[in-house]
């Protein structure tokens, strides 16, 4: 009787196990899941000003039966520098990666940068990353959104930042306005920070538009008041555009007019003559 109960109990246990965990033999007829790799990015579109680099974080998720080595290829716009780095260390550039079949995947970085000598125009630029191992292949398209960079500079034709001026006279000085950004700068006007009583005029008084890499020479008339004391003074010339501005500081050495120089010489000679006359007259007495 006890033996019968024991056999019956073992039978029930075996049946229960079959329902809870079907034997592997039952799964042999099933189709195994296909091997594949998926590339995803939390941020597939990044924005930056012209001249900056873009760094995308991409996750690789591989589904398969065994570990595989995937070749990595990243391509971008013409003349751009595009390469791949691991999450750490980022100073290494990689061309492949070994992936284990796992749910969470591996993360890599795709870096895309325009060459330093190329000022990219505003717009969207496409970068593609591909991962390949045999017949298994995956890819993702990334987008770099380049926005305009506005930069304006003021220099002089001979790169000298000083000039001389005669008090009470017109004194002409040239300034070069240059657009060093990636888009046109519009409605450029001029102003100055100068000593009290000075007059500074610009020709032309306005530049309607200055294209990328363009420049224009502006004549500046610096006129100190007639009674300005000889010496060094500083003025600041500013170009104010719709999108940005630039400025330059100029040291102005003021000289008195020649006629006043002669007047000064005559006064000194008269003083010397007067002192000599008084000395001679009193010495005779």
**Residue pLDDT, tens place only, 118-130:** 778 889 999 999 9
**Residue pLDDT, tens place only, 178-196:** 999 989 999 999 999 999 9
- Domains plus CATH for the chain? 33-147 (2.60.40.2910), 152-258 (2.60.40.10)
**Residue pLDDT, tens place only, 72-88:** 999 999 999 999 999 88
Question: What is the model's pLDDT at position 27?
Answer: 47
Q: In which residue are the tokens 């505003």 written? A: 122
Question: What is the model's pLDDT at position 116?
Answer: 78
């Amino acid at each position: 009787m006890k033996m019968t109960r024991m056999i019956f109990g073992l039978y029930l246990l075996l049946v229960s196990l079959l329902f809870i965990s079907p034997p592997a033999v039952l799964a042999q007829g099933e189709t195994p899941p296909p091997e594949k790799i998926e590339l995803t990015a939390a941020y597939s579109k990044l924005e930056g000003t012209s001249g900056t680099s873009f760094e995308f974080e991409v996750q690789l998720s591989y589904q398969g039966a065994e570990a595989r080595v995937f070749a990595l290829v990243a391509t971008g716009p013409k003349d751009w520098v595009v390469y791949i780095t691991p999450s750490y260390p980022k100073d290494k550039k990689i061309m492949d990666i070994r992936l284990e079949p796992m749910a969470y995947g591996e993360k890599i970085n795709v870096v895309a940068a325009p060459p330093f000598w190329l000022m990219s125009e505003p717009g969207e630029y496409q970068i593609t990353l591909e991962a390949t191992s045999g017949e298994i292949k995956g890819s993702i398209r990334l987008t770099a959104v380049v926005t305009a960079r506005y930069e304006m500079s003021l220099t002089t034709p001979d790169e000298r930042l000083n000039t001389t001026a005669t008090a009470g006279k017109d004194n002409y000085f040239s300034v070069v306005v240059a657009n060093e950004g990636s888009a046109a700068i519009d409605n450029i006007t001029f102003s100055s920070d100068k000593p009290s009583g000075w007059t500074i005029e610009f020709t032309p008084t306005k530049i309607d538009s200055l294209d990328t890499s363009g420049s224009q020479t502006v004549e500046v008339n610096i006129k100190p008041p007639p009674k300005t004391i000889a010496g060094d003074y500083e003025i600041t010339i500013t170009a104010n555009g719709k999108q940005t501005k630039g400025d330059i500081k100029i040291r102005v050495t003021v000289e008195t007019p020649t006629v006043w120089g002669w007047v000064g010489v005559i006064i000194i000679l008269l003083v010397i003559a007067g002192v000599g006359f008084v000395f001679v007259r009193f010495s005779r007495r």
